[in-house]
Amino acid sequence: MQDRLTAQLGEMVLTGDAVLPYCRDWIGDVQSSALAVLRPRTTAQVQDCVRVAAALGLGIVPQGGNTGLVLGAMPDAPDRQVVVSLERMTAIRNLAPNDFAIEVEAGAILQDIKDAAAQVGLYFPLSLGAQGSCRIGGNVSTNAGGINVLRYGMTRELVLGLEVVLPNGSLFAGLSSLRKDNRGIDLKQLFIGAEGTLGIVTAVTLKLVPAPTAIATALVALDDLEGAIALYRHARRDCCDLLSAFEFMPPLAFTLAREAMPDLPLPMDPGHPAYALIEMSGSGLVDVDDLMARFLERALEGRLARDGVVAQSRAQAANLWAIREGMNLGQVQRGRHLRTDISVPLSQLATFVSEAEAAVADVLPGAVCVSYGHVGDGNVHLNVLPGPGADADIQIARAKTAIDAALDRHAGSISAEHGIGRLKRAAFEARLPPAQARLLQAIRQAVDPEGIMNPGCQITPRPATSGSVQGA
């Protein structure tokens, strides 16, 4: 089979040990394998890859930066699947400042897109910890969120147009910088968040906004999560759309960040019960430094905050963000642990977290909960570091059951921003109402009747049927 792939696709094909780095997840928990990794350089080559793989009856697993946290880009049938990596399709095709838009190939790294926009005084707002490695096709396919969602929305709100290779090799040519286009159903939305189950995104037109000319960043000490939510509500009212990030962190964030980055300076007493990292940004004549100073003054006077430091330079701001990012790395270094990506209505967030943490403490007295996240979006990562003794996997399963039960009581989502992938498929399907399940299956069968696109991702594959809606 590998010989036939190489005969038809030539130097695009990697086999043997060369596939292994593409088959290891970002955390390092899972090492899988694949028949081959295909690395096209152009959209036409992606079409060739899809046609050849389909003719050989192989499943196709699209891959961007492989930073997804739910095993969506991880093959699970090594002898029947190929990875199609977009890593060689990184071109910025058209930077169009007059349209406040940029057209890029799907393999472009998110940070490179942000840098390209910055060169013309514009800003691409999608911002997340993996932005130096994740690729825009992956961001689109997971509808990524990140720290700026409360101001600019999820990736879906930043996509103007898409080019997608469909499962029969034909092209959905939907690149466009039109802001308004109400010609019937907006089909590109189907592919956003589809996690590679309906086709391979090869290029994207993205919205750009004026680059903030001033950014104020502050770290604030608080009594608890409830206090963070109260402060967030004030910030929304007092600072309106100038509020661009509001992240909640427990005191353990400092310990975890220091474990990952031993030289990281601590800007504040790490002994408070809770912290929020707040960012306000503006362009033009707006004075965000003054706004932040007055907001914090009022918060301290009103006892909404215990203490606060405002970054005085870009380096200090970067240091504050390094605590937030460093705590992720610190958790990885502690070994196997439960990671969640949960959302509940903001009004229920504090109650949910305390109920879920208590439920975990009941079943696993030695485990440590680390709850943090994008509070403004009602999004919390309630992670659990297993305690000593019992097997980590058993503890992770117990903690997950306890958290899911609390989440279901609050009608929350098991995936606020990371998607379903393979990791959350069973939990997703167990909660899927029948009408939505039928609709999802129908869409998938209509677009991909042979079931070749990312089989096993999001929903359990059904037997193939005949009849495709794709063009030639």
Ligand X SMILES: Cc1cc2nc3c(=O)[nH]c(=O)nc-3n(C[C@H](O)[C@H](O)[C@H](O)COP(=O)(O)OP(=O)(O)OC[C@H]3O[C@@H](n4cnc5c(N)ncnc54)[C@H](O)[C@@H]3O)c2cc1C
Q: List interacting residues with ligand X (CB under 6 A).
A: 26, 61-69, 72-73, 86, 106, 128-130, 134-135, 137-139, 141-142, 144-146, 195-196, 200-201, 328, 417-418, 421, 454, 457
Compute the least distance from the CB of residue 247 to ligand X, in Å.
Answer: 10
DSSP string, 415-469: BSSS--TTTTHHHHHHT--HHHHHHHHHHHHHH-TT--BSTTSSSPPPPP-S---
Tokens 């989440």, residue? 407
Q: In the complex with ligand X, which residue's Cβ is closer, 130 or 406?
A: 130
Q: Are 232 and 302 within 8 A, CB to CB?
A: no
Q: Are 103 and 96 within 8 A, CB to CB?
A: yes
52: number of CA atoms within 13 Å, CB side? 24
Neighbour count for residue 303 (Cβ, 10 Å)? 9
Q: What order of strands is seen across the sheet that includes strand 59-63? A: 13-14, 36-38, 81-85, 59-63
Compute the least distance from the CB of residue 75 to ligand X, in Å.
Answer: 10
Q: Are 161 and 177 within 8 A, CB to CB?
A: yes
Compute the least distance from the CB of residue 108 to ligand X, in Å.
Answer: 10
Q: In the complex with ligand X, which residue's Cβ is closer, 65 or 161?
A: 65
Q: Give the C-alpha separation, 259 to 270, whole Å.
A: 14
Compute the least distance from the CB of residue 222 to ligand X, in Å.
Answer: 21
Q: In the complex with ligand X, which residue's Cβ is closer, 139 or 395?
A: 139
Compute the least distance from the CB of residue 358 to ligand X, in Å.
Answer: 26
Closest CA to 60 of 40, 37, 42: 37
Neighbour count for residue 415 (Cβ, 10 Å)? 20
Q: Which distant-in-sequence residues (6+ apart) come within 8 Å of 301 by Cβ?
A: none
Question: What are the strands, taking DSSP E only, across 286-378?
Answer: 307-310, 342-343, 368-374
Q: In the complex with ligand X, which residue's Cβ is closer, 126 or 291?
A: 126
Q: Give the C-alpha separation, 60 to 43, whole Å.
A: 16
Instruction: Dig out the tokens for 471 from the structure.
Output: 């063009």
Compute the least distance from the CB of residue 70 to ligand X, in Å.
Answer: 8
Q: Give the C-alpha separation, 248 to 252, whole Å.
A: 12
Compute the least distance from the CB of residue 296 to ligand X, in Å.
Answer: 25
Query: Could you tell me how far CA 202 lies from the centroid of its own chain?
Result: 19
Compute the least distance from the CB of residue 308 to ligand X, in Å.
Answer: 24
The residue with its CB nearest to ligand X is 138
Q: In the complex with ligand X, which residue's Cβ is closer, 240 or 318?
A: 318
Q: Give the C-alpha separation, 12 to 35, whole Å.
A: 13
Q: In the complex with ligand X, which residue's Cβ is closer, 219 or 260?
A: 260
Q: Are 450 and 430 within 8 A, CB to CB?
A: no
Query: Could you tell me how far CA 415 lies from the centroid of its own chain?
Result: 10
Instruction: Dig out the tokens for 98 from the structure.
Output: 């007059």
Compute the least distance from the CB of residue 7 to ligand X, in Å.
Answer: 25
Compute the least distance from the CB of residue 67 to ligand X, in Å.
Answer: 3
Q: In the complex with ligand X, which residue's Cβ is closer, 43 or 281?
A: 43
Q: In the complex with ligand X, which residue's Cβ is closer, 308 or 326?
A: 326
Compute the least distance from the CB of residue 161 to ligand X, in Å.
Answer: 15
Q: In the complex with ligand X, which residue's Cβ is closer, 66 or 383?
A: 66
Q: In the complex with ligand X, which residue's Cβ is closer, 248 or 295?
A: 248
The DSSP call for residue 212 is P
Q: In the complex with ligand X, which residue's Cβ is closer, 135 or 424?
A: 135
Compute the least distance from the CB of residue 167 to ligand X, in Å.
Answer: 11
Q: Give the C-alpha separation, 451 to 455, whole Å.
A: 6
Q: In the complex with ligand X, which residue's Cβ is closer, 153 or 307?
A: 153
Q: Tell me the residue type at 245.
A: A
Q: Tell me the residue type at 127.
A: S
**Cα three-residue angle 415-420-424, rounded to 5 degrees:** 90
